[in-house]
Amino acid sequence: MNLDSSWAIYGAVLALIWAIYVIVVRKGERYNQAIKTAAVEAGLTEPASIHPQIDPAVCLGCGACERACPEGDVLGLLGGKAELLAPTHCIGHGECARACPTGAITLVFGTAKRGVDLPQVNANFETNVPGIFVAGELGGMGLIRNAVEQGRQAVEAIRKRRASDQSQVRAGGYDLIIAGAGPAGIAAALTAKSHNLNYLVIEQDDLGGAVFKYPRGKVVMTAPVVLPLAGSIKFRETTKESLLAFWHGIVDKHKLAIRYRERIDDIVEDGGEFAVRTSKAIERASAVLLAIGRRGTPRTLNVPGEDLPKVVYQMIDPEQYRGQHVLVVGGGDSALEAAVQLAAVPDTVVTMSYRAGHFARARLSNREKLDQLVRQGRIRLLMPSELRRIDSNSVDILRDDKISTLPNDAVIICAGGILPTEFLRRAGIAMETKYGTP
């Protein structure tokens, strides 16, 4: 083989490698573009809170951030630079910023377009209202380990405040009311119990906070953290179900005082302590810890029977409704997605009620799937109609001025949510709006 033909072979091999590289990169970019387009079409372009901001002038396009993201599709390469693809999927792991070799990524709160309201707190997690504290995601930092750590630290601060100021120690009422039984609330309750504080946790839904609402089987990435009384959470990677089982075990073992399916509506300062008005009672406490996350409170319909245990505001697992008569109420994407998923479960009878005459707020792809299932008779669509009453075995629905009673085992209401901002302002808590602040 002469020198010329050797060069030709080397050249051909290099060209082949280059061609394969270009094909792989283009395929990856097409995939990323599809994710971004879907997010834009759905109007899901603004991250919930803390998220990466990428400086394109510094980004090398190496893709280290894309590979490091535990959620998979938050950011990726487009046109050779990293971009946010599905910003609403970001929960603030920060792995992208750590992986970037050039420091092109900064973690920020809010965007120039959509500010994020955060309560102002001091180093002890206390707000401008003395005695009201904030822990966990409500303060802006996502992640289970941050929520757990802040829940613990906030209660330590509350205990020290009581120890140094005897006016905080009162007869009657609770020493501390904790709002929310997510990771921050559970850690706070354990800390309060470990110090013999007279505490109560009030949770509008079920144990676990955001974790309870993850999709079935979701892989949860977390870092080891230490919980008072319970010891350390050792796992780094687990599933939603295992984590919830772990927390249920802790709550049962330590007999934590938690009242479920009760919402805190207002907190009013009254005679040096707080009157905490819930959906069921008024309780008094010397201090309140807000561990309510940032996802808000589901909007209720205020119809008779809405407090029955068969009524929920989010579908977690369609399989649990197998063989049941289920009513889905609402006309947004969550309602349509819930109805479509339920219709795929054999023997489930799905009815959907929406008060408007057409779905103006739902994505086209969801509307098309729903239309198809309605045509196939898998979903019965009552529109426009209004849910008027819920009984243990039936529901009353008003349609064309006539009430019909339908057999029913479960009701899923998807009527949107109310963000906690208004609730915090009513309690007198000062807020700060962040527009892309590191």
Ligand X SMILES: Cc1cc2nc3c(=O)[nH]c(=O)nc-3n(C[C@H](O)[C@H](O)[C@H](O)COP(=O)(O)OP(=O)(O)OC[C@H]3O[C@@H](n4cnc5c(N)ncnc54)[C@H](O)[C@@H]3O)c2cc1C
Interface residues with ligand X (CB under 6 A) are 91, 136-137, 142-144, 147, 179-185, 202-205, 209-211, 214, 220-222, 263-264, 291-293, 295, 297
| H/E segment holding residue 275 | strand 273-278
Rounded to whole angstroms, how far apart are CA atoms 203 and 182? Answer: 9
| C-beta closer to ligand X: residue 158 or 211 | 211
In terms of CB distance, is 213 or 434 closer to ligand X? Answer: 213
Q: Which is nearer to ligand X, 220 or 244 (CB)?
A: 220
Tell me whether residue 131 or residue 142 sits nearer to ligand X (CB atom). Answer: 142
To ligand X, the closest distance from the beta carbon of 207 in angstroms equals 8
Beta carbon of residue 181, minimum distance to ligand X (angstroms, whole number): 6
Q: Which is nearer to ligand X, 142 or 305 (CB)?
A: 142
Tokens linked to 147: 């929520």
Token pair recorded at residue 174: 């609770």
Q: What is the DSSP string of 149-187?
A: HHHHHHHHHHHHHHHH-GGG--SSSEEEEEE--SHHHHH
Q: 3-class SS at 318?
A: helix
Closer residue to ligand X in complex, CB, 165/266: 266
Report in angstroms how near the CB of residue 198 gets to ligand X at its nearest: 19
Cα 47 from Cα 378, distance rounded (Å): 35
Report the candidate in 101, 33, 112 with the shortest Cα–Cα distance to residue 61: 101
Residue 261, classified by CB atoms within 10 Å of its CB into exposed (0-12), middle (13-18) or buried (19+), is middle
Pick 294 or 310: Cβ nearer ligand X: 294
> Which amino acid would we find at residue 305?
G
Q: How far is the CB of 247 from ligand X (least distance, A)?
A: 11
**Is 217 in a helix, a strand, or coil?**
coil
Find how far residue 120's CA is from the centre of its chain: 21
Per DSSP bridges, beta strands 386-390 and 394-399 are: antiparallel
Q: Kindly state the smallest distance separating residue 184's Cβ from ligand X, in Å.
A: 3
Question: Cα dihedral sign for 322, 395, 335, 414?
Answer: negative
Q: How far is the CB of 11 from ligand X (least distance, A)?
A: 47
The DSSP H or E segment spanning 18 is helix 3-41
CA 231 from chain centre, in angstroms, equals 26
In the chain, what's the furthest Cα-to-Cα distance? Answer: 99
Closest approach, Cβ 315 to ligand X, in A, equals: 14
CB-based contacts of 377, cutoff 8 Å, min separation 6: none
| Cβ proximity to ligand X, 117 vs 137, nearer residue | 137
Q: Which is nearer to ligand X, 152 or 325 (CB)?
A: 152
Which two structure tokens, joined as six digits, stand for 352?
A: 């959907």
CB 6 to ligand X: min, Å: 52
Closest by CA to 344, choosing from 311, 370, 381, is: 370
Q: Which is nearer to ligand X, 82 or 207 (CB)?
A: 207
Closest CA to 215 of 314, 137, 135: 314
Please state, in angstroms and rounded to a whole number, the distance separating the CA atoms of residues 274 and 283: 8
To ligand X, the closest distance from the beta carbon of 390 in angstroms equals 21
CB of 280 to ligand X, least distance (A): 11
CB nearer to ligand X: give 295 or 299: 295
d(CA 295, CA 144): 15
Cα dist. 124→161, 182, 264, 299, 340 in Å?
10, 20, 23, 32, 46
Shortest Å distance, C-beta 111 to ligand X: 18
Shortest reach from residue 316's CB to ligand X, in Å? 12
Q: What is the DSSP letter of 437?
A: B
Q: Which is closer to ligand X, CB of 74 or CB of 147?
A: 147
Cα-based angle 338, 343, 348 (whole degrees, multiple of 5): 110
